[in-house]
């Protein structure tokens, strides 16, 4: 253990030992390697490090060895080596080392009711600095994409801290205005941020300014096609005089549920770290992973947010990032259907769940079916949405297979670029009736959620799915939903899925969207029917 060592990833990479700065190598690549190893906090294959930092025809492994030789004197202690390497992998073994970004993330995930204001102020100041500042160009494109994704995660942490400061009961009124303003600057179309600022201004007697901000927010929300739940500053809050000055801005209940999600990690039998999250209280409902997931980015999204809100209102809603994307390990050898089923097994075992209903969406339906067939004693019911029993390589026409192969080629060459056109191929087929801003969000979400390499590997794995032999083994209540004009997975595939499961109910939804959106009638029909299904079977 080396509690004397501290590493700062926020701002310029810095290392101190017993409060004294440690000199780091002059090489930006070497420093970037250290930052990457510390931030990822897991062993990384040497080949992967070479791809990230030395995309050259000459000796990349030799360059990596040189970089590690320069880093060891800076971070290794007298009794413990922090740079741990063998012939295949390299890792930073932190022990008790304090890393600013990881420490902030851990404290926020603990979700105590209120962290001390002074701690939150320090976090806000730290998170204002760019992650690994000055090192964005130190590696190849994949490193740049990784760093962009990590900086986006750090931005989400900063928003979390600003929210806590704006709503903190021990923060004075004038200071609350400052933090609420910064929170809203970060999320200009988030209703809770706008409400916090409007109410904080009203509580300091700046009612005209508060009403102007309220008016501006309503106009911006309307222009973006967003609905607002109600007034940001109720008339009573101003008219009641002194009473209003003792109240604090209150977040909408669904957002409070999502912000209280508990994120944890477990390891599958092949050593892959899987991230999982629980939201809400009540009987459990487990959602199998689908394309694509990110436990921090999707929970408040325009695509998944309404669905997660609805389930978390009266359930303990559990979901996870399957291997290769989101907060789970990306650098994995096995991305196959069997691995996807193991990931689900790993999560429910780690959480100690004995019996529960499963929610499957898209390829998550096949994962749910396979799990239920193998573990009938654990699954009490199935809700399957937009699913299929066989992947695109099985039984598809030559034309369809050629189209899918063309998409694979586009993914290999364009997924990680700043041009969203490549990812837009998926967005438009997933949600042809989505609003432009929702498609734009999903385009960027996909880029931040998975690497180009894994995006290809996922598509290849989906193509070979075949759970037809598992369908007759399902002996629990099952309901299957499918959009009539789904442009991603044809209605006939959903019908075949339901027909193969004994006693399954099949519900056709009036939509074109593969992913149902909270503003469309089909989403409401699906949610109402699914909740009635669970209640009817006492699941």
> Among all chains, which residue has been given the structure tokens 């459990």?
284
Query: What is residue 259's predicted lDDT score, i.e. its pLDDT?
Result: 55
Query: What is residue 231's predicted lDDT score, i.e. its pLDDT?
Result: 82
> Among all chains, which residue has been given the structure tokens 């992973």?
289
CA atoms lying within 13 Å on the CB side of residue 3:
0
Task: Give the strands of the sheet with 98-99, arranged side by side.
Answer: 20-22, 14-17, 5-8, 98-99
> Which tens digit of pLDDT belongs to each residue from 27-46?
999 999 999 999 988 888 89
Distance CA 175, CA 168 (A): 10
Query: What is residue 237's predicted lDDT score, i.e. its pLDDT?
Result: 43
Query: What is residue 285's predicted lDDT score, i.e. its pLDDT?
Result: 97
Percent helix, strand, coil in the chain, to 5, is 50, 15, 35
The second-level CATH assignment, the architecture, of 5-102 is Orthogonal Bundle (1.10)
Q: Where are the domains of the chain?
A: 5-102, 115-127+139-251, 257-393+467-536, 394-464
| Predicted model pTM | 0.57
Distance CA 403, CA 407 (A): 6
Nearest to 430 by CA among 441, 416, 415: 441
Residue 458's SS3 state is: helix
User: For 14, left (φ over 0), alpha (ψ -120 to 50), or beta?
Assistant: beta
User: Do residues 476 and 381 touch, judged by C-beta distance below 8 A?
Assistant: yes
Query: What is residue 303's predicted lDDT score, i.e. its pLDDT?
Result: 85
How far from 198 is each of 51, 185, 208, 231, CA to CA, in Å?
49, 13, 10, 10
Give me the tens of pLDDT residue by residue for the chain, a chain 539 residues long. 455 789 999 999 999 988 899 999 999 999 999 999 999 888 888 988 998 998 776 788 899 999 999 999 888 876 678 899 988 899 998 777 899 998 998 887 655 557 889 999 999 999 999 999 999 999 988 898 888 878 887 888 898 899 889 988 888 888 999 999 999 998 888 888 898 899 889 888 888 899 999 899 888 888 877 767 678 875 544 434 433 334 455 555 445 555 567 888 899 989 899 999 998 889 999 999 998 788 888 877 788 888 988 898 889 999 999 999 988 999 899 999 999 999 999 999 999 999 999 999 999 999 999 999 999 999 999 999 999 999 988 866 777 777 777 777 767 766 655 555 556 666 777 788 887 777 777 877 777 788 888 888 998 899 899 999 999 999 999 999 999 999 888 899 999 999 999 999 999 999 999 999 888 899 999 999 999 999 999 99
Query: What is residue 241's predicted lDDT score, i.e. its pLDDT?
Result: 40
257-393+467-536 carries CATH number 3.40.50.720: no
């Amino acid at each position: 253990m080396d509690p004397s060592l501290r590493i700062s990833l926020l701002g310029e990479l810095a290392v101190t030992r017993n409060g004294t700065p440690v000199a780091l190598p002059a090489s930006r690549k070497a420093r970037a390697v250290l930052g990457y190893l510390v931030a990822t906090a897991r062993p990384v294959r040497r080949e992967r490090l070479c791809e990230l930092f030395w995309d050259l025809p000459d000796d990349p492994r030799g360059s990596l060895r040189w970089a590690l030789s320069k880093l060891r004197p800076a971070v290794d202690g007298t009794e413990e080596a922090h740079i741990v390497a063998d012939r295949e992998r390299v890792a930073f073994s932190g022990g008790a080392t304090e890393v600013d970004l990881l420490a902030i993330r851990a404290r926020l995930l603990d979700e105590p009711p209120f962290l001390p204001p002074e701690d939150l102020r320090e976090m806000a100041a730290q998170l204002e600095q760019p992650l690994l500042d000055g090192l964005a160009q130190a590696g190849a494109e994949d490193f740049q994409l990784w760093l962009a994704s990590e900086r986006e995660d750090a931005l989400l942490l900063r928003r979390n801290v600003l929210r806590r400061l704006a709503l903190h009961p021990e923060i004075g009124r004038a200071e609350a205005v400052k933090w609420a303003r910064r929170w809203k600057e970060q999320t200009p179309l988030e209703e809770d941020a706008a409400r916090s600022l409007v109410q904080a201004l009203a509580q300091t007697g700046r009612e005209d300014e508060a009403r102007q901000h309220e008016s501006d927010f309503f106009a911006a929300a309307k222009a973006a096609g967003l609905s607002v739940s109600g007034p940001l500053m109720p008339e009573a809050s101003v008219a009641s005089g002194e009473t209003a000055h003792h109240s604090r801005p209150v977040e909408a209940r669904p957002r409070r549920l999502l912000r209280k999600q508990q994120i944890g990690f477990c390891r599958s039998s092949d050593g892959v770290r899987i991230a999982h999250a629980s939201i809400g209280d009540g009987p459990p409902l487990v959602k199998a992973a689908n394309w694509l997931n990110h436990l921090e980015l999707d929970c408040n999204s325009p695509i998944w947010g309404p669905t997660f809100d609805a389930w978390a209102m009266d359930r303990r809603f559990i979901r996870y990032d399957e291997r290769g994307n989101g907060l789970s390990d990306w650098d994995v050898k096995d991305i196959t259907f069997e691995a996807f089923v193991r990931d689900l097994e790993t999560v429910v075992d780690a959480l100690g769940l004995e019996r529960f209903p499963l929610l499957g969406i898209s390829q998550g339906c096949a994962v749910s079916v396979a799990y239920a067939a193998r573990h009938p004693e654990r699954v009490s019911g199935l809700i399957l949405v937009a699913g299929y029993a066989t992947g695109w390589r099985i039984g598809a026409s030559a034309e369809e297979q050629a189209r899918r192969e063309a998409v694979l080629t586009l993914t290999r060459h364009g997924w990680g670029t700043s041009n969203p056109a490549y990812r837009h191929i998926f967005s438009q087929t997933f949600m042809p009736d989505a609003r432009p801003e929702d498609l734009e969000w999903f385009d960027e979400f996909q880029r931040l959620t998975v690497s180009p390499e894994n995006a290809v590997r996922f598509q290849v794995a989906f193509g070979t799915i075949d759970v037809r032999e598992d369908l007759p083994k399902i002996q629990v209540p099952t309901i299957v939903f499918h959009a009539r004009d789904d442009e991603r997975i044809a209605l006939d595939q959903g019908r075949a899925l339901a027909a193969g499961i004994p006693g399954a109910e099949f519900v056709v939804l009036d939509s074109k969207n593969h992913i149902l959106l909270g503003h469309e009638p089909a989403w409401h029909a699906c949610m109402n029917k699914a909740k009635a299904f669970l209640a009817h079977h006492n699941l």
